[in-house]
Amino acid sequence: MAMGMLFSSPLGVAAGIDRTGERLGALELKIFGHIEIGTFFPNHRISIAKRPSHLRVGINFGSARFGLDRDVIDDYLAALRQVQPIADYLCANLSAPGAGRDGNSAEVRQLLGDLRAERDRLEAGNGRRTPLLVKFNGGMAGEPLPFALQVARDLDLDGIVLVCADLPRIADVRKTIGEAALISVGGVRDGDDVALRLGAGADLVQTHRAFADKGAAAFRHFGK
């Protein structure tokens, strides 16, 4: 259970494997409980043609522009409006390398506040509850926690997608965010890594590189 939803498995597929939703059928593997589609930019095509009944679908969204000014924030808002009606959860991406923004950008509070308000407005209009998360690099234990973490707590966001392989840092973030969902991604190589992330406090774990390189075989012992 995470974000008020049941997941058939704590293991999922990270954003970047399926950017448009067209591969959902091919990813219908019982070891996975969710997939995060994206990163989705405003007015890009997204097509969820086949939605496996056991698979939760999150949509990771952002902007193709550099930085985090008003135009970029408006891109995030436009993307959220497009995908809110079809996503099981929403994830604002602040982890894109070279995008000129991250979890410590000064404008993070404005971005997440605007996204929270827009998500709430859409929910009031269509009655569809859609959890809102933010994704950023978590850093290492002993370093200051990213600014986005405090903002997410202040705004009572539904969770964090934490890019981090450092188990003590994952545990620190777990303690900091309370009951909000924690999804761990980054450096997950096999089923043993999944178990370690869950043990550190993650509710869900995502794989990217290991699955892209080795397929489901990388997790053949997962859950046994």
Residue 23: give its domain's CATH number: 3.20.20.70
pTM metric for this prediction: 0.94
Please give the DSSP secondary-structure letter assigned to residue 217.
G
Distance CA 119, CA 98 (A): 27
39 located within any domain: yes
Distance CA 67, CA 102 (A): 9
Query: For the segment 1-41, what is each residue's pLDDT rounded down to a tens digit?
Result: 999 999 999 999 999 988 888 777 666 667 889 999 999 99
Question: Residue 110's domain spans which residues?
Answer: 11-218
Mean pLDDT, residues 46-63: 85
5 located within any domain: no
Distance CA 177, CA 199 (A): 16
198 located within any domain: yes
124 located within any domain: yes
69 located within any domain: yes
Query: For the segment 156-193, what is each residue's pLDDT rounded down to a tens digit?
Result: 999 999 999 999 999 999 999 999 999 999 999 999 99
**Cβ distance 147 to 108 under 8 Å?**
yes
4 located within any domain: no
Number of domains in the chain: 1
2 located within any domain: no
223 located within any domain: no
